[in-house]
Every structure is written in C-alpha cells, then in structure tokens.
Structure 1
Amino acid sequence: MRKLLAVLSVLFYNVHVSALDLGIPIACDYGEDCIIFNYYDKSVEADVYTDHTCGRLSYDNHKSTDFMLRSHTQMKDGVNVVAADSGTIAFIRDGMSDISVDLIGEEAVRGSECGNGVIIDHKRGYKTEYCHLMNGSITKKVGDYVEKGEIIGQVGLSGITSFPYLEFTVSLNGQPVDPFTGDNPITGEINVPCDSLDIYPLWDKQTEKRLEYIATSLLTMGFSEKVPHSQGAREGKFSRKIIKYDSKIMVFWVDIFGIVAGDQLKLSIINPRGDVIKTETRPFTKNRRHNFQFIGYKHKDTKWVLGKYIGKVELLRKEGNEMEHVINTTTFVELVKN
C-alpha cells in the first residue's frame, strides 16, 4: 500500500510540474530595474496579511504578485510584458488612459480596476492575468496562441494605480493561487500557510532562483534646483545632472521602498572640497512601504564652489545591538557656470 501511495505521489507531482512552468512575466533586470513590492496574501484572517515568507510585503486579501518599475521614466522608455507560459489569449481590454488614479479618482476606474489587461488560458484549468498595461501596447487578440516569453504588451499606468507596475495573477479553476507556493498536487489545496514546507512553486527553476526576496530597496534618487514632490520625482521631472551657478537651492532626494520601524535614514550633501554642507538623520517609528524624502541646501551670501556635488543616502537598521547599513550609496550633480 505504501509503495502504491509513493508511486501515485510521484505521478501526481510529475503531472503538476508539467501543468505550469512560469517564467518572469516582465522583461526587466529583476532587482535592478524592477522588484516585487506586493506578494500574495497568505493569511485567511480579515485585516491580517502576510506573504509567503511570513513577511509583510502584501496587504489584506491581495491575491496577486506585483512587479514595480523603479521609475516612470522606464515606463516611458517601454518595458515589455511577456506571457509567463504558453497558452491561448482568453480576454483583452485596451483603450484606458495611462494616468495616475491619484489625479482622476478611484470612481473613474470603478469596474475596470485592472486597467488595460490580458488573460491567458493555460493547461489544466490554469490562467494568468496581466493588469495595468500601457494604452495601445497590447499586441495580441483573443484566440491567439502565445509561446512562453512572447511579448503581449508593455507596463503602463492604467486602472487603479498611481505608479507603473505589472499586477500578475495566477488562478486555478477560478481560484487565485500563489505562484511561490502553488497548489498541492494530491489534495488540490491552494491555501498554503506561509510557514509550510509542503510547497510546489509554479515558477520554472531559473525564475524561482532569480526572484529573490527583496524587503528593502532604493528605488531612485537625484538632485534638483527646485523643491521636488514625489510624483514629479518619480516621473523624472526633478533629476538633474547639471545645476547652474545662479541656482538658489540644491536639493537631494531619495525614493525608498521597505522602510522598517526603528530604521534611521541619513541624507547628506557633500561639496567638491569634501565638506558636508548639509546632513539630516530621520528616525522612523512606523513601517513605510514607499517613502520619498529630501534635504536642501540654500545658497546665501557664500559663493557656490564649482564642481561635483555628492548626494549620499544611508539607511541604517538595528541588527542585534548594532545599527548596520541596509542602503549606503551615492549619486552626484555638476555645478557649472551659467
């Protein structure tokens, strides 16, 4: 009897493995150009959420995996969305504008929260859904067969979103499934606890290895001669490589993902002589998923020093009894004559 069960388990496992073999659904350098900022919520309790690692990168009842671009500039340059596995196009929506929901309000996209999107029908009841695609970028039509890795559209800003990202959802017979844990091939159970060792990831081996868990990341940073705001900075409107000598202020800004309560953020501006002309350290008492911060140096009576100014960002986190760097990097801007 035990031998029979063992054989059946192997057979079920082999069927499961061949049913879906997902690649990354976005053509980006993961960890560099894009990151996952929301995972599938594993908790079945209301108002409680956790991702597959028992971490906090999710929100209540979220049943997708969200791949976020680091900036709007990437979206404008074009980032392809590809079929995670081969299948047939079952649904398409296109024609929705790429505009932040912060500007138009949620009511404007009610009933079309996914924005421009595609659904692909795969084998054995599996489907994958791709949301928030760029208006006019969808390259396929309903009924088309697509191969794994084939371009189906581009990342956009349609639907209920305020920044460019791909919302990727996997379902089995109409029920959402976490691609990082999969469904049990014997019992069919899809509600796998976050601490379970009995998992069957739906990613192919290369993708599973590639999608490392990133809890904290510097999304982007830059200099400006004006006081920036987060939306404009993320759209590339406050990123200068050169600042003119007659500018009144110099601002260094950062956009960070995954700040944890207890973290300390230190921002500094260093002049061409190596002098720190402005520095601030800001403690955080709450977790911050997506946080925009800046410091500025105002030109008064003293003259600017021409040359390269360095912006330095340090995010420190308590590990044991010590504060250790989670982020420690720099960028620069050139101050030149008019």
Structure 2
Amino acid sequence: MKTYEQDLAWQSLADKALSGQCLTAEEGLAVLEADNDEVLPLLQAAFRVRKHFYGKKVKLNMIINAKSGLCPEDCGYCSQSIVSTAPVKKYTLLDKDTLLAGAREAMARKAGTYCIVAAGKGPTERELDQVVSAVKEIRDTMPLKICACLGILKDEQAERLAEAGVHRYNHNLNTSKANYPSITSTHTYDQRVETVEKVKLNGMSPCSGVIIGMGETNVEIVEMALALRELDADSIPINFLNAIPGTPLEHMGRTPAMKALKVLALFRFMCPSKEIRVAGGREVNLRTLQPLSLYAANSLFVGDYLTTAGQEITTDHQIIEDLGFEIELNAL
C-alpha cells in the first residue's frame, strides 16, 4: 500500500474512534502488525483522538507500595509472589502516618492521583481499617484523588472503600482470558472481572489494564483491548513486562519500543475517551522513545513502581514540557 493510502487508513481508524464506533478485530490487528515505518503516522492518528478528549494535558499518578513481599498468589510476573525468589522488601501494611507522608510526596511530584497498592489476594479487615482511616484523613487535608489496589474485594469491602472516599479502584485484567492460566493459578480471570464490576456498582471509578510481554499473541492483545472496552474501565494502565530475575517470567525479553507504541495506539483507538496510562516497565521497554508514548496516552506514573525503580521525576516533567504538553493537577 502506498504511504498516502496507508496514512488515510490510519486516519480512518481515528475517524471511526471519534464517531464512537468500535474497531474490528482485524483493524486492531493491522495496527499491531503495521510496519515500523508507519509508527509516526499511526501515532498522529492516535493523537487526533487523544487531543479531542484530553487536549495536551498529562495526568500524573504516584504509587506507594503499602504492603510488600508477603503475597500468597503465584502471579508469574510479580517479584512479590509466593513463587518469586527475587530479593524484595517484605513488610506488612504501612501505618497511617507513612501513607499520609506518601500522599504529601505525591503532591510534591505534581501527581493528581495517589495510588495505595497492597500485594495480596484481598485485604483483611484489619488492613481495610488502616486504609480507610488513611483515606479519610487524606481526603480531609489534601486535594488529591485516591486510587486503591488491594486485590479481590468482597461486596462490603468495596462499599466501605467508596464511603471512605476512594475515587478509583484498580484491578488489572493483566492478560487475555486464554493466556491467564499460564500466568496465575491462584485466582481466575473471571474473579478479576467480578471485582471491577463490584467497584462500578459501588460508585468508584474502575481502573483496569494489562501487562504486555507475557507470551500473549497480537490477537490476544486485541482481545484485551476489546475486553476493557466492554468492561468500560475509566482508566487503563498499560504495563510492559519488566522481567525481574527470580520470577517465573524472568526469561521473557523486553517489548520492542516500536511495538509498545503500536500497543498504545491500539488502546487509544479501542477506548478513545478513556485515560490511557503508560505504566510499569515504560523506562525499560520504551527507553528513549518514551516521549512518543504521550501522543497516544494521556497519563503517566511518576517515581518508583512497586519493587522496581522509575526514572527521575524531573525527567518526566521535562518530557512533558519539551513536548509542549501540560501537567493536569488534581485530576482523576
């Protein structure tokens, strides 16, 4: 296909997304299988959609690892899982003062959303009490949006978090339904979907995303995007596997930067009005092409992740400034 004709084809996907139509599976696959020479026009088409809904604003998020290394789950990608031998810190849920200090640090980093993350299958009642207490004080004293990620929720736990003032709850689908059993055996894909539905029923904003690079096919990546569109997640973190030594997936290579950019464009087309977050592994996988990710995505995590280091916060701020984009403060 001639370059001009291909450019029109990518722009037609943007037109389709902006009109509210869903891309077909075949169209989604064409995005992922595009020649690398097509990445810039592909991103330009994705940027049309991103700019329509979010302008040139970038939302920043900060994670605090509120409980580390004591997880009974066997997720193959995670250094905190029971099957991991990675040398990570192990501690029970952080006390309220430490969680409050993390919220203040989020504000210093210009993050509008503070994410309280705890490893585990789901929170105990004691852990939930601690999180609820901290959330209430943060809501009373700081202009932050709060996201919680505590695992699989019971109905009454979702209700309590919503009442405490949690704006958003994260529970990623992680991979395709078909690939799920090869990644985790201690819970199911359907349990994750059920938790996201509980979040929605209790009035919290649903956040659910994926981890790219865990042996899934391109067809399965398209299936993930379609599943998250159907789930109607408001925020979609796109993680790229950082293969940590000591985890079952330590042998997996990195996702090539150009492939990662195509994935971000795909999710923008499939979920046009949703917050697309460039999340864990971006530094390792996108490397020097990180700035280009913001032509499709509109949100970044700043600082460190759960057990791996992020890049300097000033570097992220500079990327946004150099693109001529703007940090959106205190936005969910």
TM-score by length of 2: 0.25
Higher strand share goes to which structure? 1
TM-score by length of 1: 0.24
Which has the larger Rg?
A: 1
> Which structure's relative contact order is higher, taking Cα pairs within 8 Å and 6+ residues apart?
2
Higher helix share goes to which structure? 2
